């Protein structure tokens, strides 16, 4: 099925004339965390986003042009600069290469359209068994658990593991950031914090 980005894309809180010309904003409701230059971290929620900027509901503001690093569910790491306060939070630019902006645009299109089209969350990408199924799961406290990947897709994996991390636990599957979303008899299902490309999955788990 071909998804139309216009189904759920809207313009909100533009950052300026250049942003209005180049990028279309998408209304979203995803969670994350962000870090200010003094390395303080806070939770946040995305209000709307484009490949050029994001508006966040957030408890602490940065200074004008302060550098901010955010880790957003489904998107991953984004970096940029504080632009201005908004009601309940702030707006920031996103500094990225052209290639990363194109990837981000694809992610935003999918995120917007999955709500409109009611796409199934756990089977949106084809699953397969990787060439190198034996990996390590790294927990937030640094502990490493040996595991076997039962199947994997661009957005997540089912892994066999003896000690099952709690649902909601952020983990690393090999080098890839993920979150535990479900338990089953053999182990757990994890969802990656960003939708990957076939090339990046092959690089991490097949090479």
- Per-position DSSP letters for 41-100, written without gaps between them: EEEEEEEEEETTEEEEE-SS---TT-EEEEEETTTEEEEEEEEEEETTEEEEE----HHH
- CATH code at position 97: 2.40.10.220
Average pLDDT over residues 51-65: 92
Nearest to 55 by CA among 18, 10, 90: 90
Is there a single domain that holds both residue 22 and residue 113? yes
Can you tell me the distance from the alpha carbon of 12 to that of 20, in angstroms, rounded to the nearest whole number?
10
Phi/psi zone of residue 174: left (φ > 0), alpha (ψ -120 to 50 degrees), beta?
Answer: left
Average pLDDT over residues 127-155: 88
Average pLDDT over residues 127-148: 89
Is there a single domain that holds both residue 144 and residue 67? no
pLDDT tens-digit map of 60-106: 999 999 999 998 877 888 999 999 999 889 999 999 888 888 888 88
Total domains in the fold of the chain: 2
Can you tell me the distance from the alpha carbon of 129 to that of 109, in angstroms, rounded to the nearest whole number?
27
Enter the tokens of residue 196. Answer: 């990957």
pLDDT tens-digit map of 174-207: 988 899 988 888 899 898 887 777 778 888 887 6
Enter the tokens of residue 49. Answer: 């986003």
The proportion of the chain whose per-residue pLDDT surpasses 70, expressed as a percent, equals 82
Give the distance, in angstroms, between the CA of residue 163 and the centroid of all CA atoms in the same chain.
25
Query: How high is the pLDDT of residue 67?
Result: 95
User: Which of 92, 117, 142 is the last residue before a domain boundary?
Assistant: 117
Query: How high is the pLDDT of residue 118?
Result: 45
Full residue range of the structural domain in which residue 140 is found: 134-205
Is there a single domain that holds both residue 50 and residue 142? no
pLDDT band at 18 (very low <50, low <70, confident <90, very high): very low
Query: How high is the pLDDT of residue 114?
Result: 60
Q: What is the mean pLDDT of the chain?
A: 80
Give the position of tokens 């290639």: 99
Can you tell me the distance from the alpha carbon of 128 to that of 148, in angstroms, rounded to the nearest whole number?
13
Query: How high is the pLDDT of residue 14?
Result: 38
Query: How high is the pLDDT of residue 148?
Result: 93
Query: How high is the pLDDT of residue 195?
Result: 76
Query: How high is the pLDDT of residue 125?
Result: 56
Q: Cβ contacts of residue 78 below 8 Å, gap of 6+?
A: 54, 69, 70, 72, 94, 96, 104
pLDDT band at 19 (very low <50, low <70, confident <90, very high): very low
- Whether 127 is covered by a domain: the verdict is no
Is there a single domain that holds both residue 38 and residue 113? yes
- Whether 123 is covered by a domain: the verdict is no
Is there a single domain that holds both residue 94 and residue 150? no
Enter the tokens of residue 186. Answer: 């053999």
pLDDT(124) > 60: no
pLDDT band at 12 (very low <50, low <70, confident <90, very high): very low
Classified as helix, coil or strand, 154 is coil
Where is 146: in which H helix or E strand?
strand 144-152
pTM, entire model: 0.49
């Amino acid at each position: 099925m071909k998804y139309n980005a216009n189904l759920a894309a809207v313009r909100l809180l533009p950052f300026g004339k250049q942003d209005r010309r180049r990028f279309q904003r998408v209304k979203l409701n995803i969670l994350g965390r962000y870090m200010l230059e003094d390395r303080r971290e806070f939770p946040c929620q995305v209000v709307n986003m484009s490949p050029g900027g994001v508006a966040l509901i957030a408890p602490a503001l940065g200074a004008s042009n302060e550098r901010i690093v955010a880790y957003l569910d489904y998107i991953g790491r984004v970096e940029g600069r504080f632009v201005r306060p908004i009601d309940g939070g702030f707006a920031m630019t996103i500094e990225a290469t052209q290639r990363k902006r194109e990837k981000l645009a694809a992610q935003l299109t999918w995120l917007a359209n999955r709500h409109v089209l009611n796409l199934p969350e756990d089977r949106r990408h084809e699953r397969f068994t990787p060439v190198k199924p034996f990996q390590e799961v790294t927990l937030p406290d640094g502990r490493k658990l040996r595991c076997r990947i039962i199947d994997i897709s661009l957005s997540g994996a089912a892994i066999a593991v003896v000690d099952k991390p709690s649902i909601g636990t952020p983990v690393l599957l090999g080098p890839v950031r993920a979150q535990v979303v479900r338990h089953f008899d053999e182990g757990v299902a994890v969802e990656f914090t960003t939708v990957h490309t076939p090339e990046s999955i092959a690089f991490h788990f097949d090479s």
